[in-house]
Amino acid sequence: MSLRRGERAIEVLLFLCALASVGTTAGIIAVLAVETFAFFGEVSIVEFLTGTEWTPLFATKHFGVLPLLLGTTVVSVIALVVAVPTGLLSAIYLSEYAPERVRRVVKPVLEILAGVPTVVYGYFALTFVTPLLQQWLPGLSGFNALSPGIVMGLMILPLVSSLSEDAMRAVPRGLREGAYALGATRMQTALQVVVPAAFSGITAAVILAASRAIGETMIVAIAAGQQPRFTANPFVPIETMTAYIVQVSLGDTPQGTLEYRTIFAVGMLLFLMTFALNLLSSWLRARFREEYN
Q: Which residues would be at the binding site for another protein (CB under 8 A)?
A: 99-100, 172, 174-185, 188, 192-193, 196-197, 291
- Cα atoms found within 13 Å of the Cα of residue 202, Cβ hemisphere only: 23
In DSSP terms, 54 is beta-bridged to: 63
User: Which residue's CB is nearer to another protein, number 8 or number 289?
Assistant: 289
What's the closest the beta carbon of residue 87 comes to another protein, in angstroms? Answer: 22
What's the closest the beta carbon of residue 162 comes to another protein, in angstroms? Answer: 22
What is the distance between the alpha carbons of residues 263 and 212, in angstroms, rounded to a whole number? 19
What's the closest the beta carbon of residue 291 comes to another protein, in angstroms? Answer: 7
> Which residues, at least 6 apart from 286, have a Cβ–Cβ distance to it below 8 Å?
none
What is the distance between the alpha carbons of residues 75 and 52, in angstroms, rounded to a whole number? 18
What's the closest the beta carbon of residue 88 comes to another protein, in angstroms? Answer: 18
What's the closest the beta carbon of residue 188 comes to another protein, in angstroms? Answer: 5
What's the closest the beta carbon of residue 282 comes to another protein, in angstroms? Answer: 21
CB burial string 211-243: b at 16+ within 10 A, e below? bbbbbbbbbbbbbbbebbbbbeebebbbbbbbb
What DSSP state is assigned to residue 182? T
What is the distance between the alpha carbons of residues 126 and 220, in angstroms, rounded to a whole number? 9
User: Which residue's CB is nearer to another protein, number 252 or number 290?
Assistant: 290
What is the distance between the alpha carbons of residues 80 and 206, in angstroms, rounded to a whole number? 8
3-state SS of 56-106 is: CCCCCCCECCHHHHHHHHHHHHHHHHHHHHHHHHHHHHHHHHCCHHHHHHH
User: Which residue's CB is nearer to another protein, number 6 or number 172?
Assistant: 172
Residues in the chain: 293
User: Which residue's CB is nearer to another protein, number 42 or number 100?
Assistant: 100
User: Which residue's CB is nearer to another protein, number 133 or number 184?
Assistant: 184
User: Which residue's CB is nearer to another protein, number 27 or number 196?
Assistant: 196
What's the closest the beta carbon of residue 110 comes to another protein, in angstroms? Answer: 21
Query: For residue 242, which of 272, 277, 212, 266 has the smallest C-alpha distance?
Result: 266
